[in-house]
């Protein structure tokens, strides 16, 4: 039996929409446009419509998960700090929407001496690249947008666009804090991408593929990669926290010394989008850890695989919140020192372990 994917499910709907269009055109009785109706039920338009529907559903689902991450962070932090996180609506679930409306209603201020076009476009680029990431990580073998062979590579390539936009945004603000924050941010993101790539390389060696489905299938037949590649798992987790700019690595927005770092001049919806992008990236990091190390949607069959996936993602995110609540922000030079002198060697060791295990034929 061919498994029902989101695509094949929606393909029928798209075909039905095409047929409705064909019928509507037929009842007009105009001979000259009949060919449009016939064209609407052919493969091309139906596939296109299906992909659009898949994207829409997946995006809404992923964004809702992103919002849930924010809610989860506020709730868990509230519990740890002995206060209420959110209170609006049932379990405070509507707080984020209230905050979003408040953010939207604020005036959009662009500094007089800023480079206006770059100032606006850097936010667009940042949120664009972050949202693009959402579509790349599948939730299960049936709930995904695209499934190219090199998904992991594309994902990391898109992920590493951020320093570019941060640098542009910080420079265009024409503000000393922004500039220093942007340089710090770029240095941090570039430094921590290399260990991430090394760890991913070890996963590629173990599983022999860059495709998330194959990676998860490998873990289902063998074991979760967290156990053989434990060093890599820890390295990836630490780098992931740094890449999503969270405490203790939230240096680009260190408010105590640099006001808000590179985002000092951004307000209103631009700030909202930047914050949303931050959380989306944190979600993507959690999702990557889940898929690469925790067996993705692997789990007992009494729950849907998507549910297992979400449980694991939220668990990883919970650990990130825990770390955030327990530590303080570290300094730039210390951060780079950790990145280059600790995490990079660890990732190389991890790579060596993966190579040895593969060469000995244990996997």
Tokens 């405070």 found at: 92
Q: How near is the Cβ of 257 to another protein at its closest, in Å? A: 5
Query: Is there binding between residue 153 and another protein (CB under 8 A)?
Result: no
Q: Which stretch binds another protein (CB under 8 A): 60-68, 237-245, 327-335, 355-363?
A: 327-335
Q: Which is nearer to another protein, 331 or 341 (CB)?
A: 331
Counted residue by residue, the chain has a size of 363
Q: Which is nearer to another protein, 26 or 331 (CB)?
A: 331
C-beta atoms surrounding 70 within 10 Å: 21
User: Of residues 30, 328, 359, 360, which one binds another protein by CB under 8 A?
Assistant: 328
Q: Which is nearer to another protein, 22 or 325 (CB)?
A: 325
Distances (CA, A) of 67 to 195, 222, 245, 266, 268: 28, 34, 17, 21, 18
Q: How near is the Cβ of 255 to another protein at its closest, in Å? A: 5
Q: Which of residues 231-250 bind another protein (CB under 8 A)?
A: 247-248, 250
Task: Pick the closest to residue 246 from 77, 64, 61 (CA basis).
Answer: 77
Task: Pick the closest to residue 140 from 1, 305, 310 (CA basis).
Answer: 305
Q: Which is nearer to another protein, 340 or 363 (CB)?
A: 340
For residue 179 the two structure tokens come to 């500039």
Q: Helix 95-105 vs helix 268-293: angle between axes, to the nearest 10 degrees?
A: 140
User: Of residues 52, 81, 223, 319, which one binds another protein by CB under 8 A?
Assistant: 81
Query: Is there binding between residue 80 and another protein (CB under 8 A)?
Result: yes
Q: How near is the Cβ of 82 to another protein at its closest, in Å? A: 6
Q: Which of residues 253-282 bind another protein (CB under 8 A)?
A: 254-259
Query: Is there binding between residue 325 and another protein (CB under 8 A)?
Result: yes
Q: Which is nearer to another protein, 145 or 187 (CB)?
A: 187
Tokens 């480079």 found at: 115
Tokens 């922000």 found at: 329
Q: How near is the Cβ of 327 to another protein at its closest, in Å? A: 5
Q: Helix 230-243 vs helix 176-207: angle between axes, to the nearest 10 degrees?
A: 150
User: Of residues 28, 42, 87, 327, which one binds another protein by CB under 8 A?
Assistant: 327
Binding mask 200-219 for another protein (x = CB under 8 A): --------------------
Q: Which is nearer to another protein, 216 or 238 (CB)?
A: 238
Q: Which stretch binds another protein (CB under 8 A): 10-18, 23-31, 222-230, 320-328?
A: 320-328
Q: Which stretch binds another protein (CB under 8 A): 77-85, 92-100, 204-212, 296-304?
A: 77-85
Q: How near is the Cβ of 332 to another protein at its closest, in Å? A: 6
**DSSP label of 340:** I
C-beta atoms surrounding 214 within 10 Å: 15
Cβ-Cβ contacts under 8 Å for 63 (sequence gap 6 or more):
131, 134, 280
Q: Are 241 and 322 in contact (CB under 8 A)?
A: no
Query: Is there binding between residue 332 and another protein (CB under 8 A)?
Result: yes
Q: Which stretch binds another protein (CB under 8 A): 58-66, 86-94, 292-300, 329-337?
A: 329-337
Residue 296's Cα: distance from chain center in Å? 15
Q: Are 195 and 351 in contact (CB under 8 A)?
A: no
On the 0-12 / 13-18 / 19+ scale of CB atoms within 10 A, 359 is: exposed
Query: Is there binding between residue 31 and another protein (CB under 8 A)?
Result: no
For residue 125 the two structure tokens come to 């680029």
Q: Which of residues 158-187 bind another protein (CB under 8 A)?
A: 176-177, 180
Give the SS3 label for residue 52: helix
- Binding residues for another protein, per CB under 8 A? 77, 80-83, 176-177, 180, 247-248, 250-251, 254-259, 325-334
């Amino acid at each position: 039996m061919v498994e029902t994917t989101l695509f094949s499910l929606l393909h029928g709907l798209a075909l039905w929409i095409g047929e409705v269009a064909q019928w509507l055109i037929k009842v007009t009785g105009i001979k000259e446009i009949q060919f449009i109706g016939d064209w609407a039920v052919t493969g091309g338009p139906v596939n296109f419509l299906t992909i659009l529907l898949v994207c829409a559903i997946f995006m809404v689902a992923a964004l809702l998960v992103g919002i849930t991450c924010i809610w989860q962070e506020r709730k868990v932090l509230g519990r740890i700090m002995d206060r209420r996180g959110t209170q609006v609506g049932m379990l405070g679930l509507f707080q984020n929407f209230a905050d979003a409306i408040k953010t939207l209603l604020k005036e959009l201020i662009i500094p007089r001496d800023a480079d206006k076009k770059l100032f606006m476009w850097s936010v667009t680029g940042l949120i664009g690249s972050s949202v693009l990431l959402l579509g790349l990580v599948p939730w299960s073998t049936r709930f995904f947008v695209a499934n190219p062979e090199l998904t992991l590579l594309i994902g990391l390539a898109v992920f590493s666009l951020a320093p570019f936009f941060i640098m542009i945004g910080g420079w265009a603000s024409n503000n000393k804090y922004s500039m220093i924050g942007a340089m710090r941010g770029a240095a941090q993101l570039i430094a921590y991408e290399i260990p991430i790539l090394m760890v991913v390389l070890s996963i590629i060696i173990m599983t022999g593929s860059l495709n998330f489905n194959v990676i998860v299938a490998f873990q289902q037949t063998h074991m979760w990669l967290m156990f053989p590649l434990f060093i890599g798992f820890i390295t990836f987790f630490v780098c992931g926290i740094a890449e999503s700019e969270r405490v203790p690595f939230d240096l680009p927005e260190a408010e105590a010394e640099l006001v808000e770092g590179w985002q000092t001049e951004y307000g209103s919806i631009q700030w909202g989008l930047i914050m949303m992008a931050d959380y989306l990236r944190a979600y993507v990091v959690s999702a990557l850890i889940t898929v690469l190390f925790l067996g993705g949607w692997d789990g007992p069959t009494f729950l849907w695989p998507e549910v297992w996936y979400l449980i694991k993602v939220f668990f990883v995110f919970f650990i990130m919140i825990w770390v955030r609540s327990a530590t303080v922000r570290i300094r730039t030079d210390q951060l780079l020192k950790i990145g280059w002198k600790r995490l990079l060697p660890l990732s190389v060791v991890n790579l060596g372990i993966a190579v040895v295990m593969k060469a000995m034929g244990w996997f």
